[in-house]
């Protein structure tokens, strides 16, 4: 396939994925398979996808700030806990085989779906920025950072669960913190992929442009439409993941 066609395909897929990632999660279930379909091996696809992730979350953080939604101090504290895990995860990701990576990806996606359908009690909400970070929150951020650095797919769901159930944020504030956290831990992970030669820049930047558009749009829509929109997109994202696991498309 000519590279110009691949670039156009990735921009379109990136726009959809960016919207999914910011409002719910699961966008990388579209972008990673697309990159692999276009001929990239697992590590190269994983690294190229990170270019889009970091640009998308920069756009989303800026968009939330423009909408007057920001708690940068708390977001930064949470982000710092993810860094050791993200660096370790990225090192492992560039050193495992294609086959093993894809098997792990499949198992993880099944686990994500199961976790999303388990009924939970609805937490009481508290959107204040002055929260004490308990050890359970710190540990969850370290583990989520490792997962994000290693595989990325579905990390948004994990962060949403942690921020919603452990810190009691509503879904708009969850997404506001989520995009900041992912932006911070993706930076060192992307650097590792770059150093090891696992980024294809033309495809990554095309995907990034689409992700940025989708992420900016999603942040504005999240603030205006609130929890209802986020829950709708969340259900759609889970459906997409389920259909892919069942090889429907």
User: pLDDT tens-digit profile of 50-62?
Assistant: 999 998 888 889 8
- Which two three-digit tokens encode residue 86? 């993200």
User: pLDDT digits over 107-146, tens only?
Assistant: 766 665 566 556 555 656 666 777 788 889 999 999 999 9
pLDDT beyond 80 at 241: no
Of 168 and 75, the one with more pLDDT: 75
Q: What is the dihedral of CA 86, 91, 93, 95, to 10 degrees?
A: -170
Of 238 and 142, the one with more pLDDT: 142
Sign of CA dihedral 184, 186, 189, 191: negative
Q: In which band, very low, low, confident or very high, does the pLDDT at 217 lie, cut at 50, 70 and 90?
A: confident
Q: Are 26 and 47 in contact (CB under 8 A)?
A: no
3-state class (DSSP) for residue 126: coil
pLDDT of residue 139: 93
Total of domains in the chain: 1
pLDDT beyond 80 at 245: no
pLDDT of residue 120: 57
pLDDT of residue 98: 73
Q: For residues 175 and 25, what is the distance between their CA atoms, to the nearest angstrom?
A: 10
Count other C-beta atoms under 10 Å from residue 111's C-beta. Answer: 11
Q: Are 230 and 172 in contact (CB under 8 A)?
A: yes
Category of 120 on φ-ψ map: left (φ > 0), alpha (ψ -120 to 50) or beta: beta
Q: Which residue has the tokens 């001929």?
A: 39
Helices (H), the chain: 3-23, 28-37, 42-66, 72-93, 98-117, 135-150, 155-165, 171-195, 201-225, 227-245
- Which two three-digit tokens encode residue 103? 């098997």
Mean pLDDT of the chain: 82
Q: What is the dihedral of CA 83, 33, 204, 214, to 10 degrees?
A: -80
pLDDT of residue 16: 85
Q: For residues 94 and 92, what is the distance between their CA atoms, to the nearest angstrom?
A: 6
Domain range holding 154? 3-245
């Amino acid at each position: 396939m000519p590279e110009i066609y691949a670039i156009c395909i990735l921009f379109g897929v990136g726009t959809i994925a960016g919207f999914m990632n910011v409002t719910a999660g699961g966008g990388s279930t579209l972008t990673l398979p697309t990159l692999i379909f276009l001929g990239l091996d697992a590590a190269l696809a994983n690294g190229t996808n990170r270019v889009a992730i970091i640009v998308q979350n920069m756009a989303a953080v800026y968009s939330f700030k423009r909408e007057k939604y920001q708690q940068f101090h708390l977001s930064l504290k949470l982000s710092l806990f993810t860094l050791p895990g993200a660096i370790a995860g990225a090192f492992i990701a560039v050193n495992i085989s294609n086959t093993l990576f894809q098997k792990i990806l499949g198992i993880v996606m099944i686990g994500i779906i199961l976790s999303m359908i388990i009924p939970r009690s609805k937490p009481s909400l508290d959107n204040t920025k002055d929260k004490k970070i308990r050890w359970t929150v710190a540990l969850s951020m370290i583990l989520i950072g490792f997962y994000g650095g290693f595989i990325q797919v579905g990390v948004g769901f994990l962060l949403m669960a942690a921020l919603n159930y452990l810190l009691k944020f509503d879904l708009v504030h969850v997404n506001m913190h989520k995009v900041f956290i992912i932006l911070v831990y993706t930076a060192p992970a992307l650097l590792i992929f770059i150093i090891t030669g696992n980024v294809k820049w033309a495809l990554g930047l095309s995907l990034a442009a689409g992700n940025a558009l989708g992420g900016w749009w999603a942040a504005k829509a999240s603030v205006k439409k609130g929890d209802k929109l986020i829950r709708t997109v969340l259900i759609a994202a889970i459906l997409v993941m389920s259909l892919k696991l069942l090889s429907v498309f």
